[in-house]
């Protein structure tokens, strides 16, 4: 067997808006959200090997309660398809963890798509989406590969136009737990509020420094992505960007990002 190596960019997303409609009996939630791909990406290299091992190198140690979903997915794909080779997966992380940017889900989606390609499994995009949704509600979107309105748990996707705006992405060095944020959501309140993201007020209540930052800059349209912790601000000129950069606290991270029309994974279909 010839060794094959594929390197792919695994993009982040932001939620332009996010409404939670109800809790389901399966533990997931029905949502409606507009997902936008952005050019902040992890880089993942897949190398097929002649041994039978699945090895994932993240470049850092996972917390004891965190699941390595890339390893789980690669292992299951290998077993159910009776693949005789192994795969070594190296992930170079640029997307912050627990930031509401879908980095882990994007990596998981990339793993499904690339292994389908390298191992010549013949799964259709819809089959990959069905497989991926068992591992996370955002994974179907990243396999879908286009900007979309997401409904259901996030697996019902309708293509939509891309944003044209450049954005300043602000990461306040907070790991926000999706499960914890959903557990604190008040559904009647969520249905009635007029803010674009139902988790904004909950997130601000939990984090004093972020609440002070948002309140101090209330003349600026600051948006939360996902369940936090990243926030984004659209801007339209270098002068405007320079003004925005001055308001970011010293210890926080930031990225200037552009919208993507399509995922880099689209080249593998």
Decide if 268 contacts 114 (C-beta within 8 A).
yes
Cβ pair 42, 264 in contact under 8 A = no
Q: What is the pLDDT of residues 39-72, one digit of tens each?
A: 999 999 999 999 889 999 987 655 444 468 999 9
Domain ranges of the chain: 5-161, 166-257
The 10s digit of each residue's pLDDT in 190-242 is 455 557 999 999 999 999 999 999 999 999 999 999 999 999 999 999 999 99
Length of the chain as a residue count = 269
What are the Cα distances from residue 84, in Å, to 35, 50, 51, 54, 246?
A: 37, 8, 8, 11, 55
Supply the CATH classification number for the domain 166-257.
3.30.70.890
At residue 3, the pLDDT reads 55
Q: Residue 67's pLDDT is what?
A: 61
User: What gap in Å lies between CA 11 and CA 261, rounded to an integer?
Assistant: 11
69 is written with which tokens? 């979903």
**132-178: per-residue pLDDT in tens?**
999 999 999 999 999 999 999 999 999 999 999 999 999 999 999 99
What average pLDDT does the structure give for the chain? 92
pLDDT for res 58: 86
CATH number of the domain at 5-161, please? Answer: 3.30.230.10
Residue entry with tokens 């320079």: 242
pLDDT of residue 180: 92
| Active-site amino acid positions | 13, 138
How far apart are the C-alpha atoms of 221 and 238, rounded to whole Å?
17
pLDDT value at position 202?
Answer: 93
């Amino acid at each position: 067997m010839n060794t094959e190596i594929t390197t792919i960019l695994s993009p982040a997303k932001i939620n332009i808006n996010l409404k939670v409609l109800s809790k389901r009996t399966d533990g997931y939630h029905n949502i409606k959200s507009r997902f936008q791909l952005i050019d902040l990406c992890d880089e993942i290299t897949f190398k097929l090997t002649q041994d039978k091992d699945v090895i994932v190198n993240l470049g850092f140690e996972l917390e004891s309660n965190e699941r390595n979903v890339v390893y789980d997915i690669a292992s299951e794909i290998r077993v159910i398809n009776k693949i005789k080779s192994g795969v070594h997966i190296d992930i170079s992380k640029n997307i912050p963890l627990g930031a509401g940017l879908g980095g882990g889900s994007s990596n998981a989606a990339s793993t499904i798509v690339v292994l389908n390609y390298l191992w010549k499994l013949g799964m259709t995009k819809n089959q990959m989406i069905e497989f991926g949704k068992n591992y996370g509600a955002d994974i179907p979107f990243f396999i879908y590969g286009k900007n979309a309105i997401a409904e259901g748990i996030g697996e019902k996707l309708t293509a939509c136009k891309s944003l044209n705006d450049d954005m300043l992405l602000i990461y306040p060095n907070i790991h926000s737990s999706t499960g914890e944020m959903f557990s604190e959501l008040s559904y009647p309140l969520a249905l009635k509020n007029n803010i674009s993201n139902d988790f904004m007020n909950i997130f601000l209540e939990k984090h004093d420094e972020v609440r002070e930052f948002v309140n101090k800059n209330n003349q600026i349209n600051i948006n939360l992505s996902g369940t936090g912790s990243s926030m984004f601000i659209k801007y339209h000129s270098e002068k405007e960007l320079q003004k925005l950069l001055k308001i970011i606290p010293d210890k926080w991270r930031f990225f200037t990002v552009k919208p993507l029309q399509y995922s880099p994974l689209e080249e593998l279909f």
